[in-house]
Amino acid sequence: AQKVTQAQTEISVVEKEDVTLDCVYETRDTTYYLFWYKQPPSGELVFLIRRNSFDEQNEISGRYSWNFQKSTSSFNFTITASQVVDSAVYFCALSELYSGGGADGLTFGKGTHLIIQP
């Protein structure tokens, strides 16, 4: 069975600090996909990144960066020089491929509530 753990329930930092959100996953498949989504107070989930299990390259997009390590089953997300607008709930999610060739529905962690104080 697949599982995603986000151990940090809530993180509060002061603006301009760097912050890392942890994500640990469990899966028996060799082919899977990992995602990060942002959920602002409005409720809509905003896609941030998708990474497949064969691509362990770290990725940077502006102030956002992601560190994927298969050896520790982790897919951590770092925000550099945080801003108040980064305040939201962030979800890590996992999707496996099933025998019919389609992808499973996403399995989400419980989310990390990030608070950026001015």
**At its nearest, how many Å lie between another protein and the CB of residue 106?**
6
**At its nearest, how many Å lie between another protein and the CB of residue 38?**
11
Q: Which residues bind another protein (CB under 8 A)?
A: 4, 33, 35, 37, 42-47, 50, 52, 91, 93, 95, 97-98, 100-111
| Best CA proximity match to 48, nearest among 15, 89, 100 | 89
Angle (nearest 5°) at CA 36 between 60 and 111: 130
Contacts of 71 (CB under 8 A, 6+ apart): none
- Alpha carbons 70 and 73: distance in angstroms, whole number: 5
**CB closer to another protein out of 13 and 48:** 48
**CB closer to another protein out of 20 and 52:** 52
**CB closer to another protein out of 110 and 115:** 110
